[in-house]
Structure 1
Amino acid sequence: MVSTHPLVVPSPPAPTGRRLTAAERERQIVEGAIAYFAEVGLDGQTRELARRLGIAQPLLFRYFPTKAALIERIYEEVYLKRWDAGWEATVRDPSLPCLERFRRFEIDYQRTIDNYAWLRIFVSAGLKGFDLPSRYLGMVRARIFTPLLTDMRAESRLPSPEDQPLAADEYELLFGIHGALVYVGLRSLVYGIDGGVDRDAVRAAMLDAALPGLLATHRRVVAARRETAASGA
């Protein structure tokens, strides 16, 4: 479980009193921006960010000419750098049943994103109309859920996606469980409601409750989609 109090905002390193190199200054701006936007949301102003960093706004724009460029760097730093290629290997591992692959992915993934900046910036980006959440969830869909659903079809001896394309309601089965697990972190790190629970243990228990019926439900969803397609033919 993350021990940091949910309302404590990480701070960028304090100035050292010496002139920073270009790389150090860029790092200072990026880390300060992550902390700032996690606290106030992505509608925060770059003028206020510069003030908090103790630099002039033109200096900030020398490194990041637009706010959009700075947010793109935050996306790379907070989201893309945390993406683990091992997750993709796990959901494709033929030595494991599909439900165990899903369990292992979710346990490690949720622990990775259980982070103040990750969750709060993600929520703010969605509310403020930035495409960061849709781009990131597109990766989850394509790299994790598509191969997993494909192998769930095979494990249940259902038509392959080549014969019957994967449907939105199949993805929603996985996104529904996935989103419920994310909410455990949101409740603490965004809403400030925790109660001292062990979030890892809570998510493990939720998976124990959700996974046993997943394959049977998936089979019904695929069968219903096939029947709908046949009746409309």
Structure 2
Amino acid sequence: MKDERPEGAEKPRRRRLPSDERRREFVTRAVEFFAEEGFESSTRGLAKRLGVTQPLLYRYFPSKEDLIHEVYETVYVNRWQPEWATLIGDRSRPLADRLNEFYNAYTDVIFNREWMRIYLFSGLKGVDINRRYMQLVRHRILEPIVIEARAEAGLPEAVPRDDEVEFAWVMHGGIFYYGVRDLIYESCVSADKRQVIADAVAAFLHGLALKRG
């Protein structure tokens, strides 16, 4: 398309954003960038994508690690819903019902292409995003689930044993990998996510009961 500005006219300048808004914009674009390019990509490449200078980017994020930390907070920590903890611990309802509702809500958040790609890229390149998130999953999801399973079975609510948590990982990992196969590998998977979750929850609770004998 022909540029119809009068000869010699200046190009429109990039709109100057308030500092906080510019910072949020940089993080949002960094999420998109790392999801596409992975973590071996340089901040120079990100600055080019943003249309700003690398020194300007460093004014907001003194290092690549600082920027990655913000990406982690944005994509993983800030998407955690506080009501999920209340849901898991609501003993007025059977645990199976609670887990089904939780995992349907949880996967509505994490079954996102950017979320998945950043998680997988971080593991491949030694970035600690996925290790940190796995600790969050253990403390906020799996250990509470094991405690609730103990309570429902009439057992003491002791600190969850590692073997119990590993058993919960099997359920959680299976649900997670369903999303990976769908969003990353684009393989043929069941279109009924609710049924996949229901089957995983039922298998976990039945297997846990057998395990305890």
Query: Which fold has the larger relative contact order, with Cα–Cα distance below 8 Å and residues 6 or more apart in sequence?
Result: 1
Q: Which secondary structure does the structure 1 equivalent of 2:78 belong to?
A: helix
Alignment counterpart, residue 204 of structure 2, candidates 193, 201, 214:
214
Q: Which secondary structure does the structure 2 equivalent of 1:134 belong to?
A: helix
Higher mean C-alpha deviation, range 179-188 or range 63-72? 179-188
Q: Which secondary structure does the structure 2 equivalent of 1:32 belong to?
A: helix
Counterparts of 2:55 and 2:184, CA distance in 1: 32
Show structure 1 runs of 5+ residues with no match: 1-14, 224-233
Aligned to 1:181: 175
The offset of 1:79, in angstroms, is 1.1
Higher mean C-alpha deviation, range 127-136 or range 66-75? 127-136
Aligned to 1:93: 90
The Cα offsets for residues 3-58 of structure 1, whole Å up to 9 and x where unpaired, read as xxxxxxxxxxxx97322332232222111111100001111111111111111111
Show structure 2 runs of 5+ residues with no match: 1-11
The offset of 1:114, in angstroms, is 1.2
| 1:22-61 alignment runs, 5 A limit | 22-61=19-58
Q: Which secondary structure does the structure 1 equivalent of 2:154 belong to?
A: coil
Is the 2:44–2:54 Cα contact (8 Å) retained in structure 1? Answer: yes
TM-score, with structure 1 as normaliser: 0.79
Higher mean C-alpha deviation, range 126-135 or range 28-37? 126-135
Counterparts of 2:97 and 2:30, CA distance in 1: 38
Amino acid in structure 1 at the alignment position of 2:180: L
Alignment counterpart, residue 169 of structure 1, candidates 163, 173, 178:
163
Counterparts of 1:104 and 1:73, CA distance in 2: 29
Give % identity: 39
How many residue pairs match? The answer is 202
> Which is greater in Rg?
2
Higher mean C-alpha deviation, range 179-188 or range 76-85? 179-188
TM-score, with structure 2 as normaliser: 0.85
Amino acid in structure 2 at the alignment position of 1:173: F
The offset of 1:68, in angstroms, is 0.2
Is the 1:156–1:215 Cα contact (8 Å) retained in structure 2? Answer: no
Is the 2:190–2:196 Cα contact (8 Å) retained in structure 1? Answer: no
